[in-house]
Each structure stands twice: as structure tokens, then as C-alpha cells.
Amino acid sequence: MSAAPAIAPEPVPGSRVGGGALPRHVAIIMDGNGRWAKKRFLPRVAGHKAGVEAVRAVTRAGRAMGIEAMTLYAFSSENWRRPEEEVSDLMGLLRIFIRSDIDELARENVRLRVIGDYRRFAPDLVKLVDDAIARTQFNTGPILAIALNYGAQAEIAAAARRLAAKAVAGELAIEAIDDAAIEHELDTRDLPPLDLLIRTSGEVRLSNFLLWQAAYAELLFVDTLWPDFDAAALAQAVATFAQRQRRYGGL
């Protein structure tokens, strides 16, 4: 399934709000685990563990609300720059999350997706991710997409390379390379267009996350540290979204 064009798309039914429609696709930059732990004089890994609990609470709340897709920025391509011990802790928590939550996701008809180059991870973790994706691939319910070793600039560059290769091979006319062609090569091609992007912890930047997809998304920056972001906070974010008027460059 190819995604709708990112540049000035026609609003789909229910996407222009003010009347209370839900966002179809919500993405979250889950920021603030370290600061949450520091405020409590705890090691950073404690903040990451609390962040995993927030993932469970927020994704369950999103499903209960009827949100069609959620994309979570779990590990960026820049996170490799963190101390080796912290990266190891994050990988360990990812293993725990998959093993402990895959039964619930499968039972609730959730389709698990991964965006990013997660095959750089350790072989056992790659297999865990592959098995989890395979187990839920035929589910028909909401989508939970996890961004692992993801960077939006690399994603767009890879899409450009694939399109260039097709053009050189004579499989694609240069004139046919448009917004839809690029979107069809992105990691998110099987997800609905992005409606709402939330960043927690008070930082006001996208940090190389869904740069193309966010072209006409509503952006919401909140001060809440990620481990404290819960079902009520998600409901408030959705209520804020419902007050926005989305004109896509029109009147």
C-alpha cells in the first residue's frame, strides 16, 4: 500500500478536525528518561525502565482510543554515540519488551512494524524482532511501529538511491519521480499519513525523526518527561490536536 503524497494532500474524511476527529497516525519522540532518573537520584537505566512502562501505558491507551497507528522513536541512528553501557542497557530492555509484550500484541490483533536499519543489532535481537514481526504480520488491527536505528535523512537518501537505480536501469522515467514515488520507497509506506507528532521533555526539535512524513503533521511539544507521559497525557494531546485547523496550505 503506497502512502498519500506528503505535499499538500487533500484532507481525508475525519482528518480535518475541530469537530473532534482522532488522528489516524500519532508519532512520539520519547524523550526525558535520563532526566527523569536524575531528578530521582537514580541511574539512567532506571529511567529507561520507567520509559518502557510508559510505552505500555500509552500504546494501550492509543488502542483503546481507536488510534490506527502509533510510531515510537525508540533508538535513533545517532544513539550509538551514547556510552556503550547505556546502549547495552537499551538493547536489553528492548529484548525484555519484545519477549514480555508480544503475546499481548498478538492477542489484541496489533500489527508490529519496525522502521530503520535494525539489522545492525546483535543477531539474537534481530531474530527476536523478525519473529515478532512475522507473528503479527497477518493481524488486522492497529499498527505499532517502532523506530530502531532510524534516521530520517538516511531513510530519504536510501529512497533516492533506489529510485535512481530504477531510473538508470530504465525501469522508471525521471519525470515519474514525484512525491508519491518517494513515499513509496520510505520505511513508512504501509502506514497512514502522519497526523500528530509529539515530543516530550520540553525539547523543541525533530531530531532526525520522520522529516518527510512530518511535512503537514501537527507538532506538539510538551514539558512532561517521557516516563510521566501516560494515558491522560495522550488524551490531552489528542484533544489539542482536535482544536487545530488543518488547511494544508489552503484557506
Q: Is 78 annotated as ligand-binding? A: yes
Q: Does residue 139 have an active-site annotation?
A: no
For residue 77, give the amino acid letter.
S
Q: Is 109 annotated as ligand-binding? A: no
Q: Is 34 annotated as ligand-binding? A: yes
For residue 159, give the amino acid letter.
A
- What are the φ and ψ backbone dihedral angles of 171, each rounded to 5 degrees? -90, -15
Q: Is 80 annotated as ligand-binding? A: yes
Q: Is 1 helix (H, G, I), strand (E, B) or coil?
A: coil
- CB under 8 Å to 36, separation ≥6 — which residues? 47, 50, 51, 225, 226, 227, 228
Distance between CA atoms of residues 192 and 130, nearest Å: 22
Catalytic residue among 79, 117, 190, 230: 79
**Average confidence (pLDDT) per 10 residues, the chain, 251 residues:** 37 41 96 96 96 97 97 96 94 95 97 96 96 97 97 98 97 96 97 98 98 97 98 97 85 65
Q: Does residue 79 have an active-site annotation?
A: yes
Is the CA virtual torsion 103, 109, 113, 119 positive or negative?
positive
Q: Is 56 annotated as ligand-binding? A: no
Domain 25-149+194-242 falls in which CATH fold?
Undecaprenyl pyrophosphate synthetase (3.40.1180)
Give the per-residue pLDDT at 250: 74
Q: Residue 72's closest CA among 180, 186, 188, 155?
A: 188
Give the per-residue pLDDT at 20: 57
Catalytic residue among 31, 89, 187, 195: 31
Q: Is 131 annotated as ligand-binding? A: no
47: its cell numbers = 529511567
Domain ranges of the chain: 25-149+194-242
Give the per-residue pLDDT at 98: 95
